[in-house]
Amino acid sequence: MESLAESLKRLTAPGKLFRVLPDARLECFACAMRCKLKGGQTGACRVRFNQGGKLMVPWGYVAGLQADPIEKKPFFHVLPGSRSLSFGMLGCCYTCDFCQNWVSSQALRDPAAGHAVRPCSPRDIVKAAADDGCLTVTSTYNEPLITSEWAVEVFGEAKKADLRCCYVSNGSATPEVLAFLRPWVDFYKVDLKCFDEGTYRRLMGGSLKAVLDSIAAMRELGFWVEVVTLLLPGVNDSERELSALARFLASVSPDIPWHVTAYHRDYRMEGPESTPAATVLKAAQLGKAAGLRYVYAGNLSGDTGGWEDTACPSCGAVLVERRGFRVMGSRLALDGSKGSCPECRRDIPGVWA
């Protein structure tokens, strides 16, 4: 029987995100791994490969397609209460044991993972978004950077239908891929998994510096950026590490929303069953103390007081009230896509309507 890797090789097309090196290898710059591939070699993501001097990349299928609340991505400063058509392919450049999408992301590495794939066209995806009343389409489930050429093909069709476009990503990008994405991606969510280079290398197989550089570059380029940190007890939840992480985000912009979310045991990770609510609340307080204006506690709906709501940083008025992924009410004063506090008139950053 044909393996998943063999069948996916047929769902590929020549890619764009590479350069030819003097020794004829292809340097892929879809992600910060920058694999240098000889003929016949496959990249660390296992889905991009050098075939006779062409970089072949995933194309023309989905492994997951579903309309979700945009709060689930999570984006809290983007079109609250709307739905986003989420699509994903297979594979990832990281190898996190605690991955919560491992069935998609580790499909090419782990025989226990794997996922049926369905050939489709960008039009099929955009039609599904329209049928479900979505305002956005999101590349998610696997790591979208490694399938960026396909995402841009889908987003090109989505823009024609007046949809806005999102990435839900580990943020391990390069300047080249961010320039490629900028005309198409409006909203970029980054998983900033910890604030320790050694942990990034050991647990993810990635580089903290690459992610930090990318977050700063995304803001410079004008993407709307929200950041999520999944709190792993004993791994990334020390006060010192979380404070340093929050200070970094605040130094890029105090308007970056930071979501601190509770971990539940998944995939091959051994450890505590879940992150205690007290840890999530402490992290949220550290974020505020570091100067971040919008900090949210996630994955513990109902246990986090007002930390799921958007409040005005000037007068404290609650502007968007949430429970989990549901928006219970919004009092923002709207002016086009902009929003402000109805009490003190302070502008609240984001795309609200």
C-beta closer to ligand SF4: residue 33 or 312: 33
Among residues 135 and 190, whose Cβ is nearest to ligand SF4? 190
CB of 204 to ligand SF4, least distance (A): 12
User: Are the CB atoms for 158 and 139 separated by under 8 Å?
Assistant: no
Q: Which is nearer to ligand SF4, 28 or 62 (CB)?
A: 28
Helix (H, G, I), strand (E, B) or coil at 193: coil
Would you state the structure tokens that stand for residue 221, as one six-digit string? 């380029």
Instruction: Supply the minimum distance, in Å, between the C-beta of residue 12 and ligand SF4.
Output: 12
How near is the Cβ of 229 to ligand SF4 at its closest, in Å? 22
Q: Can you tell me the distance from the alpha carbon of 254 to that of 293, in angstroms, rounded to the nearest whole number?
A: 6
State the nearest-atom distance from the C-beta of 93 to ligand SF4, in Å: 4
Q: What does DSSP say about strands 83-88 and 61-62: parallel, antiparallel, or unpaired?
A: unpaired
Burial 230-257 (b: 16+ CB within 10 A, else e): bbbeebbbeeebbbebbbbbbebebbbb
Minimum CB distance to ligand SF4, residue 18 (Å) = 8
With a CB cutoff of 8 Å and minimum separation 6, the contacts of 111 are none
Q: Is the peptide bond before 74 cis (omega within 30 degrees of 0)?
A: yes
Residue nearest to ligand SF4 as judged by C-beta position: 43
Nearer to ligand SF4, 93 or 245 (CB): 93
Least distance to ligand SF4, CB of residue 147, Å: 8
Do 308 and 323 touch, CB atoms closer than 8 A?
A: yes
Shortest Å distance, C-beta 328 to ligand SF4: 40
Distance CA 304, CA 324 (A): 10
Collapsed DSSP state (helix, strand, coil) of residue 136:
strand
Distance CA(75)–CA(240), nearest Å, equals: 26
Ordered alpha helix ranges (H), the chain: 4-10, 102-105, 122-131, 148-160, 175-181, 197-199, 208-221, 239-252, 277-289
Name the residue nearer to ligand SF4 (CB basis): 85 or 117. Answer: 117
Closer to ligand SF4 by Cβ: residue 108 or 242: 108
Question: In angstroms, what is the minimal distance from the CB of 95 to ligand SF4?
Answer: 11
Comparing CB distances to ligand SF4, the nearer of 31 and 280 is: 31
Of residues 60 and 233, the one with the C-beta less far from ligand SF4: 60
Q: For residue 60, with 0-12 CB atoms within 10 Å meaning exposed, 13-18 middle and 19 or more buried, which class applies?
A: middle
Binding positions for ligand SF4, rule: CB under 6 A: 28, 30-31, 33-35, 43-45, 48, 93, 146
Please state the closest distance from residue 217 (CB atom) to ligand SF4, in A: 17
Beta-carbon neighbour count of residue 35 at 10 Å? 22
Residue 156 to residue 351: CA distance in whole angstroms: 20
Coil, strand, or helix at residue 159?
helix
Nearer to ligand SF4, 89 or 245 (CB): 89
| C-beta atoms surrounding 222 within 10 Å | 9
Residue indicated by tokens 């198409």:
184
Least distance from ligand SF4 to the Cβ atom of residue 151, Å = 12
Please, which residue, 54 or 346, has the CB nearer to ligand SF4? 54
